[in-house]
Chains A and B, each alone.
Chain A
Amino acid sequence: AQSVTQPDIHITVSEGASLELRCNYSYGATPYLFWYVQSPGQGLQLLLKYFSGDTLVQGIKGFEAEFKRSQSSFNLRKPSVHWSDAAEYFCAVGPANQAGTALIFGKGTTLSVSS
């Protein structure tokens, strides 16, 4: 079955500290991978995406993610967290080279930033 797992429901990080949010997927085909962020009361905003090529992708707001095929993972990282990064983060997967299929989302990780 196709699925996305975000093992951490809630993470608290000190401002200025580094961050890594985990994402594992189970997908029969070659995947496209995405990270979205949702601020309270808002919709989901795309942070970054991986389609092919370099497995380390850069996104907005200083985020990056690394695709590791052997581990079926696409972890999100940021070297120094800012208070404004507090939000909910969603990993999503979709099929490469196959139009007409919706993204599958993980259940999200809530990030809190302490001062």
Chain B
Amino acid sequence: DAGVIQSPRHEVTEMGQEVTLRCKPISGHDYLFWYRQTMMRGLELLIYFNNNVPIDDSGMPEDRFSAKMPNASFSTLKIQPSEPRDSAVYFCASSLHGVAEAFFGQGTRLTVV
């Protein structure tokens, strides 16, 4: 398996623009997680899904953030409108049965100018 695949690897956008981050989990995994990493706050859980259903979105910072998982092999994290404070590395991870180890993608480095 190719592992968790995220795209794009880098994204630079202007404040106010919509940004969409994409994730393909490992085939067969039933949990998908979105994390955000910053120097100040470390790794923060934004939202996670089980069998394509959002389970906990309490970490989503604002209504500007939304995430979807239309099928077992694809998820998106959307920020609209984007702000400079959204600049961070966004990681997607997947796991089997939830409590086992999570496998991480290489992340998307987002810069909002």
A65 CB to nearest chain B CB (Å):
14
Q: Is the CB–CB distance between A94 and B99 below 8 Å?
A: yes
Q: Is the interface of B mostly helix, strand, loop or mixed?
A: strand
Q: Is the CB–CB distance between A99 and B97 below 8 Å?
A: yes
Which chain A residues lie closer than 8 Å to B104 at the CB level?
Answer: 36, 43-45
Do A96 and B99 contact each other (CB < 8 Å), given the known contacts A43-B105, A43-B107? Answer: yes
Q: Is the CB–CB distance between A101 and B106 below 8 Å?
A: no
B: interface residue count bin: 20 to 34
Do A108 and B42 contact each other (CB < 8 Å), given the known contacts A43-B91, A43-B106? Answer: yes
A44 CB to nearest chain B CB (Å):
4
In the complex, per-residue mask of B43-55: 1 if CB is within 8 Å of any chain A CB, else 0: 1010010100001
Q: At the interface, yes or no: A89 with Cβ under 8 Å from chain B?
A: no
In the complex, per-residue mask of A92-109: 1 if CB is within 8 Å of any chain B CB, else 0: 001111111111111110
Contact of B45 among A45, A97, A102 (CB under 8 A): A102
Q: Chain A: residues with CB nearer than 8 A to chain B?
A: 32, 34, 36, 41-46, 49, 90, 94-108
Q: Chain B: residues with CB nearer than 8 A to chain A?
A: 4, 31, 33, 35, 41-43, 45, 48, 50, 55-56, 91, 93, 97-99, 101-107
- Can you name 22 A-B residue pairings with CB atoms under 8 Å? A41-B106, A42-B107, A43-B4, A43-B91, A43-B104, A44-B93, A46-B101, A46-B103, A49-B101, A96-B99, A100-B50, A100-B55, A100-B99, A102-B45, A102-B56, A102-B102, A103-B45, A104-B45, A106-B42, A107-B41, A107-B42, A107-B43
